[in-house]
Structure 1
Amino acid sequence: MLYIEASPRKSRSNSIEVSQVFLSELKNAHPSIEVDKLDLWATELPAFDGYTGRQVCRPARQPQPGSRHKPWHPLGFKALD
């Protein structure tokens, strides 16, 4: 399971507090579950502009016109693989 933490408030965040309670109960009910945490405020993310968005949403079978850069591959979760 991938848990994405997106609040910059950390210890003052109600959503993080609720999530921690949920994850604790989930682990109690399913001890074998693995939870990977992705903290969006501690992770360096690649730039994502309009061009990149259009390439990501482009059907795979369409050729990529004039590639300025390779927009999609940096967005993978290789650190969690």
Structure 2
Amino acid sequence: MIKERQLREELLGLEQRMHLLDRQLADAIHRIHHSPTPDLVEKAAQDERAYLSQLDKLMTRIRAVEGQLLQIDRHATRH
């Protein structure tokens, strides 16, 4: 199925993006705790908020793709 393959490829890309965001988020948190100046701490906090927002949107899309794949799997087992 072309649709299933496309969804699985999209899911793989989304998961890779999620891992990158996880690393970026960890870096921002590290900078919040270890930056030497208030300006750098504020920049790190802004980055953290931005990464969390991106991660939220990404997780929503991952759940949507997983739901579509589940529907395809259910349909395939019925026929």
Task: Tell me the TM-score normalised to structure 1 length.
Answer: 0.30
Task: Tell me the TM-score normalised to structure 2 length.
Answer: 0.31
Q: Which has the higher contact order (CA 8 A, sep 6+)?
A: 2
Indicate the structure with greater strand content. 1
Indicate the structure with greater helix content. 2
